Amino acid sequence: MSNEESFYKKAYLREKQARKQAEKILEDKSLELYNTNEQLKFLNNNLEVELVDRLKQKQIIEQEFSSFVNKATDIIYRLDPKGCFTFVNPMTELISGFTAEEIIGQSFTYFVHPDDKVEVESFYSEQIEMQQESTYFEYKIKSKEGRDIWLGQNVQIIYKEEGISGFIAIARNITERKQLEKSIIQSEEKYRGIIESLEFGILEVDTKGIITKAHSSFSTLTGYTQKELIGKNPYEFLHPDSYALMQLQEEKRKDKVADVYEVQIKKKTGEYIWVIISGAPFYDTEGNQTGSVGIHLDITERKKMEEDLKKANEKALASSKSKELFFAKVSHEIRTPLNAVVGLTDLLLKTDLNPTQKKYTYNINKSANNLLLLVNDILDITKIEKDQLSINNKPFKLKNFLNNIHATLDYQAQQKELPLLISVDKNIENHYISDELRLTQIIINLANNAIKFTSIGYVKILLELVSIKKNQHLIKFSVIDTGKGIAQDKIDKIFNEFTQESTNTFNTYGGSGLGLAISKKLVELLGGTIQVTSNLNKGSTFFFTLPFTIAEKKKKNTKKEETTVFTAKDWSATKILIVEDNPINQLVIQETLTIWKVQHKTVNNGLEAVEQIKQEEFDIVLMDMQMPVMDGITATKEIRQTLKSNVPIIAFTANAMKADIQKCLEVGMNDAITKPFKEEELKSKIQNLVSKNHIIKKSKNIKPLLHIDKLEELAHGNMAFVIKMLHIFNETSQQELKTLSETTDCNVISQIAHKIKPSIGYLSTLEMQELVLKIEFKEFVNNPELLDKFISMLKTLKKECKNHLDKHS
Amino acid sequence: MKGIVFTEFLELVEEQFGIETVQQIIDQCELSTEGIYTAVGTYSHKDIFMMVQKLSELKEIPIPELLKVYGKYFFTVLSNGYPQFMKEKDLFSFLDSIDNYIHVEVLKLYPDAELPKFDSEIIDNKMTLLYQSTRKMSDFAIGLILGAAEYYNEPNIKIEVLKLEDEGQKAHIKIERFE
């Protein structure tokens, strides 16, 4: 075999092996391909299942989404790139009123309200131009029914490769909100308008009181510009007189209190004006006070008017006061001479007169009495008209009250030979609370009339118990006469002022015509109604019912008082001091007292009275009020405070005003009587006071203050020692009593009590021992009657001591 | 390295120098396959180097020269075998498409192939190519370019290696057309 042959053989073998190698590679590749194919097939199948799945899911999501879009409470729609509707949800139909068919294909701007069209178009062209993906805009559409509907709309641009593929919009009906906004704005404007037109100056301050906001209205009010106000302290504009009030208000505002107050502020012109400020704190959302707002209203005019009114009122009051004073003065001026006329003619009638003189004198006396009644009635009606007449309820005794009435009317009734009968229901008590004075006035008025208009028959005062309610008795008072009666057509007018049954009445019977009017008013004031029944020529009955509260009885005195009133007394031992400057009045009183056989002394003024009382003891002082040198009030004060005398004082006054009587009682007088006095009235008043004093005197005898048993015990039978001790006490107590009557220094009084205390311990009762201790501890400062009682007891003790010494010396 | 490189090399040697030289190369080289190659297989690139070096010794022709010749020859094999890659109309466009298109497609068929990288830049009638390969076979690449020039009938070109870097792993090649 040649070389070449062997080379080819080798090459052939290599090729064979290379082929096998290649076949192997191909087989491997083919297997690999098969496997890959199988895998691909599997993937393909899987892909189909997955695709179906995904499609299903997508459908579900689409359904959900579509349901969401359909059920959405907002408008949802889609536009093509030209702005025409391609989809709308049901809400779009509901809100716009158009059906989907009507909307689809229409241009978006077709539904926009004509007013908003330009604005809406420009807004959305800008969105497209600026490539803003999403925008929000509010505008109106016109619904199919023509309503304006506000929409708040979100628009999203949808981009695809080739550019804008459309728009998706979600819009909400905000009509209600817009209307609310509008109404809020309107209301704000309305109130701003109101506030501005109301001339309220509004100012806001922070919590430090610095001005933070000044409304133009405040500038108008004060003349300051906003610049001049903001940052300033309001005190700069405040009148110094208003500082304190302002501070008070600031404190109040801190406590969350809103208030209204009036201050003076200074205008830019320098002029001060009065403003009323309504200040209120205001708060942030967390409730912290952030400042206050003050509404200022110019009230300068009102203030001026108030001032004028105040002055006018003061003037009116002054004039009213002077009117009252005038009445008091006139009544005094009239009463004083009348006192003389009545009193002197009374006296004159008791002297020997020939029949003509007696007749004249009687007529003078009667006329003067009538005039007096008239003056009193006018005074009363004046007070009633001015509502000045007040009711003064006090405990009183019915029997005393009826006795007084009887005493007052008896003389008149006797003159006409008419029996005056007083009949009282046996169930009626004796002690009641009412205004005795007014009640007396009513009954006397009615009974006076009854006597006046009755010629034959009787006059009867009837008291009946109507009902009992707890401690209240309802009592019916009737004044019955058998007189001429009142015509039916006049009966209604009988209680009117200045009305009498006929003009004839005055001519025949006299009278002011005020009596019944006054009685009616008084009954009403006491809580009742006066009524009348009458038969012409047969008689009249005036009656009224009043409630009375039962007063607690003072059993001890009941019987005695009754007897004292009814017992005619021997007054020869009674000593009366007459204090009166008018000689005629002096004469009248003197003569009256002389007839009653009373001892009396007369002085001309208060000072003389004080001097006289120092020297001499009296049972009663009759004290005139208006006197030269020293008046009655001053004299009484002097007697009570300086002399420390308890002598009963009856004010003798021409002033019938209640206030005057009140004043008399306040300074320590015991009673008051109006001039010209009625003999009976004076008599009963004197009698009351004398008997009271009598009882006190009597009671002293029953309970002696002097007890010498302790002293005797101490003396162990040494009577000389007892006498000596009593002498010492007699002398020292006289000295102490003198000091006590002169001093008002409570320290001095206390020292005296301290000094005298041991003697009282030996000589007197437990009551007086306690009393002297109270005086030492100055309890009399708050309780002045303690001192009066002490002095009185000390005097008695001294007297008893003296008596004892007189008896044993 | 793909088997076609080996089979076509031995084909070319047999054609140019006779079967005896083929036998000599196979006998004198310690080849991993004892000279058995198939175009669809994949073999160690060391085998081709050994065979090129042996040929250079036997025939006293420098290795670069041999590689250029083989490159030029191999291009005709490729262009005949894979006409789908010969879409480009001229040389520069074709060279530009190697990295961007041809090698992308090759990797789809042979995912494990280790291909050289060609970054290209064309300025007027000049092109620069940056060859990058761990095989350091820039000469083989130049032979291929020459084959392409012939394919596109562009004889008036000048190929120049401007710079070698990393022991031949990188080669800056300039191709210039001239009239």
Is residue A461 a contact partner of residue A478, using CB atoms and an 8 Å limit? Answer: yes
User: Residue A698: its pLDDT value, please?
Assistant: 42
User: Residue A365: its pLDDT value, please?
Assistant: 84
User: Residue A497: its pLDDT value, please?
Assistant: 63
Query: Alpha helices, DSSP H only, in A422-572?
Result: 436-452, 503-509, 515-526, 555-566
**Residues 6 or more apart in contact with residue A400 via CB below 8 angstroms:** A561, A565
Helix, strand, coil fractions of chain A, as percent rounded to 5: 55, 20, 25
User: Residue A559: its pLDDT value, please?
Assistant: 39
User: Residue A461: its pLDDT value, please?
Assistant: 92
Amino acid A436 reads E
**Residues 6 or more apart in contact with residue A468 via CB below 8 angstroms:** A474
The residue among A21, A23, A28, A32 with the most chain B CBs within 10 A of its CB, best to mutate, is A21
Mean pLDDT of all residues in A272-280: 87
Report the distance separating Cα B137 and Cα A391, nearest Å: 145
Is A455 among the domain residues? yes
| Chain A residue whose CA is closest to B109 | A29
Report the distance separating Cα A717 and Cα A706, nearest Å: 18
Is A285 among the domain residues? yes
Query: What is the length of chain B?
Result: 179
Q: How confident is the model at residue A445 (pLDDT cuts 50, 70, 90)?
A: confident
CB atoms within 10 A of CB A755: 13
Mean pLDDT of all residues in A71-100: 91
| Chain B residue whose CA is closest to A29 | B40
ipTM above 0.90, yes or no: no
Report the distance separating Cα A260 and Cα A153, nearest Å: 49
Report the distance separating Cα A478 and Cα A539, nearest Å: 13
**Residues 6 or more apart in contact with residue A99 via CB below 8 angstroms:** A93
Q: What tokens were used for A389? A: 């007449």
Is A408 among the domain residues? yes
Is residue A218 a contact partner of residue A204, using CB atoms and an 8 Å limit? Answer: no
Is A536 among the domain residues? yes
How many CA atoms within 13 Å lie on the side-chain side of A663? 13
Amino acid A657 reads M
Report the distance separating Cα B10 and Cα B31, nearest Å: 13
Is residue B50 a contact partner of residue B34, using CB atoms and an 8 Å limit? Answer: no
Q: How confident is the model at residue A61 (pLDDT cuts 50, 70, 90)?
A: very high
User: Residue A696: its pLDDT value, please?
Assistant: 47
Same-domain pairing of A113 and A255: no
Report the distance separating Cα B85 and Cα B101, nearest Å: 8
Is A366 among the domain residues? no
User: Residue B151: its pLDDT value, please?
Assistant: 93
Q: What tokens were used for B35? A: 């000279």
Q: How confident is the model at residue A655 (pLDDT cuts 50, 70, 90)?
A: low
Helix (H, G, I), strand (E, B) or coil at A32: helix
The CATH number that applies at residue A453 is: 3.30.565.10
Interface touch A22/B39, C-beta < 8 Å: yes
Q: Which residues of A are less than 8 Å from B40 in CB distance?
A: 22, 25-26, 29
Q: What tokens were used for A554? A: 């003072």
Last residue in a domain, options A702, A723, A740: A702
Interface touch B19/A21, C-beta < 8 Å: no
Amino acid A379 reads L
Report the distance separating Cα A461 and Cα A420, nearest Å: 8
Mean pLDDT of all residues in A74-93: 91
**Residues 6 or more apart in contact with residue A193 via CB below 8 angstroms:** none
Instruction: Report CA Rg, chain B.
Output: 16
The chain-wide mean pLDDT, for chain A, equals 83
Q: Which residues of B are less than 8 Å from A11 in CB distance?
A: 19, 22-23
Residue A435: name the closest of A523, A563, A308, A341 by CA. A523
The chain-wide mean pLDDT, for chain B, equals 91
Helix, strand, coil fractions of chain B, as percent rounded to 5: 55, 20, 25
Residue A575: name the closest of A599, A611, A608, A601 by CA. A599
User: Does residue B38 sit at the A interface (CB-CB below 8 Å)?
Assistant: yes
**pLDDT at A449 exceeding the cut of 80:** yes
User: Does residue B61 sit at the A interface (CB-CB below 8 Å)?
Assistant: no
Same-domain pairing of A716 and A743: yes
The CATH number that applies at residue A646 is: 3.40.50.2300
Q: What tokens were used for A603? A: 């002085």
Is residue B88 a contact partner of residue B99, using CB atoms and an 8 Å limit? Answer: no
pLDDT tens profile A775-791: 888 888 888 888 888 88
**pLDDT at B9 exceeding the cut of 90:** yes
Residue A437: name the closest of A481, A383, A480 by CA. A383
What are the residue ranges spanned by the domains of chain B? Answer: 3-61, 70-177
User: Residue A557: its pLDDT value, please?
Assistant: 43
Instruction: Say which DSSP state A485 is in.
Output: -
**pLDDT at A662 exceeding the cut of 50:** yes
pLDDT tens profile B60-119: 999 999 999 999 999 999 999 889 889 888 999 999 999 889 999 888 888 888 889 999
Same-domain pairing of A19 and A83: no
* Rounded (5°) CA angle A455-A456-A462: 100
Report the distance separating Cα B176 and Cα A2, nearest Å: 51
Beta bridge partner(s), residue A88: A77
Q: Which residues of A are less than 8 Å from B38 in CB distance?
A: 18-19, 21-22, 25
Last residue in a domain, options A652, A686, A702: A702
Q: Does domain B70-177 bear CATH number 3.40.50.300?
A: no
Report the distance separating Cα A621 and Cα A636, nearest Å: 10
User: Residue B153: its pLDDT value, please?
Assistant: 92
Long-range contacts (CB closer than 8 Å, 24 or more residues apart) made by A281-287: A281/A253, A281/A254, A281/A256
Q: What tokens were used for A84? A: 């025409």
Same-domain pairing of A753 and A631: no
pLDDT tens profile A542-575: 999 999 988 876 544 443 333 333 334 567 778 8
Same-domain pairing of A426 and A536: yes
Same-domain pairing of A784 and A744: yes
Q: What tokens were used for A101? A: 């068919």
Is residue A452 a contact partner of residue A420, using CB atoms and an 8 Å limit? Answer: no
Beta bridge partner(s), residue A150: A140
Mean pLDDT of all residues in A743-757: 85
Q: Which residues of A are less than 8 Å from B7 in CB distance?
A: 18
User: Residue A375: its pLDDT value, please?
Assistant: 79
Same-domain pairing of A446 and A566: no
**Residues 6 or more apart in contact with residue A410 via CB below 8 angstroms:** A420
Place of tokens 């006046």: A452
User: Residue A700: its pLDDT value, please?
Assistant: 41
User: Residue A563: its pLDDT value, please?
Assistant: 33
A164 φψ region: left (φ > 0), alpha (ψ -120 to 50), beta (else): beta
Instruction: Report CA Rg, chain A.
Output: 57
A108 φψ region: left (φ > 0), alpha (ψ -120 to 50), beta (else): alpha
Mean pLDDT of all residues in A167-190: 90
- Which whole-number Å values give the CA distances from A484 to A312, A424, A513, A549, in the listed order? 51, 25, 17, 36
Number of domains chain A is built from: 6
Is residue A488 a contact partner of residue A509, using CB atoms and an 8 Å limit? Answer: no
Is A178 among the domain residues? no
Q: What tokens were used for A731? A: 């002398």
Is residue A212 a contact partner of residue A291, using CB atoms and an 8 Å limit? Answer: yes
**pLDDT at A701 exceeding the cut of 60:** no
Q: What tokens were used for B107? A: 């990797």
Residue A624: name the closest of A668, A588, A673, A574 by CA. A673
pLDDT tens profile A290-342: 888 888 888 888 888 888 999 988 888 877 777 767 776 777 777 778 878 88
Same-domain pairing of A434 and A545: yes
Mean pLDDT of all residues in B124-142: 91
Please give the order of strands across the beta sheet that includes A211-214: A211-214, A201-206, A289-298, A272-283, A259-266
Report the distance separating Cα B22 and Cα B31, nearest Å: 13
Query: Alpha helices, DSSP H only, in A425-493?
Result: 436-452
Same-domain pairing of A409 and A542: yes
Is residue B55 a contact partner of residue B61, using CB atoms and an 8 Å limit? Answer: yes
Stretch among A657-671, A741-755, A770-784 having the lowest mean pLDDT: A657-671
Amino acid B43 reads Y
User: Does residue A24 sit at the B interface (CB-CB below 8 Å)?
Assistant: no
Last residue in a domain, options A268, A298, A328: A298
The CATH number that applies at residue A76 is: 3.30.450.20
Is A81 among the domain residues? yes
Query: CA of B32 to nearest chain A CA: how many angstroms apart?
Result: 13
Rounded to the nearest angstrom, the gap between the alpha carbon of residue A612 and the centroid of all alpha carbons in its chain is: 50
Burial (0-12, 13-18, 19+ Cβ within 10 Å), A311: exposed
Beta bridge partner(s), residue A127: none
Stretch among A264-278, A383-397, A420-434 having the lowest mean pLDDT: A383-397
Report the distance separating Cα A180 and Cα A186, nearest Å: 9
| Chain A residue whose CA is closest to B110 | A29
Q: What tokens were used for A439? A: 């009640």
Q: Which residues of A are less than 8 Å from B23 in CB distance?
A: 7, 10-11
Interface touch B22/A11, C-beta < 8 Å: yes
Residue B140: name the closest of B85, B76, B72, B82 by CA. B72
Same-domain pairing of A100 and A60: no
Interface touch B41/A22, C-beta < 8 Å: yes
User: Does residue B41 sit at the A interface (CB-CB below 8 Å)?
Assistant: yes
User: Does residue B28 sit at the A interface (CB-CB below 8 Å)?
Assistant: no
Same-domain pairing of A402 and A548: yes
Between the two ends of chain B, the Cα-to-Cα distance in Å is 38
| Chain A residue whose CA is closest to B40 | A22
Stretch among A8-17, A86-95, A171-180, B105-114 having the lowest mean pLDDT: B105-114
A287 φψ region: left (φ > 0), alpha (ψ -120 to 50), beta (else): left
Residue A736: name the closest of A764, A707, A760 by CA. A760
Domain range for residue A564? 560-702
pLDDT tens profile A109-145: 888 999 999 999 999 889 888 888 899 999 999 999 9
Q: How confident is the model at residue A699 (pLDDT cuts 50, 70, 90)?
A: very low
Is residue B112 a contact partner of residue B39, using CB atoms and an 8 Å limit? Answer: no
pLDDT tens profile B19-36: 999 999 999 999 988 889
Helix (H, G, I), strand (E, B) or coil at A282: strand
Same-domain pairing of A413 and A536: yes
Is residue A226 a contact partner of residue A250, using CB atoms and an 8 Å limit? Answer: no
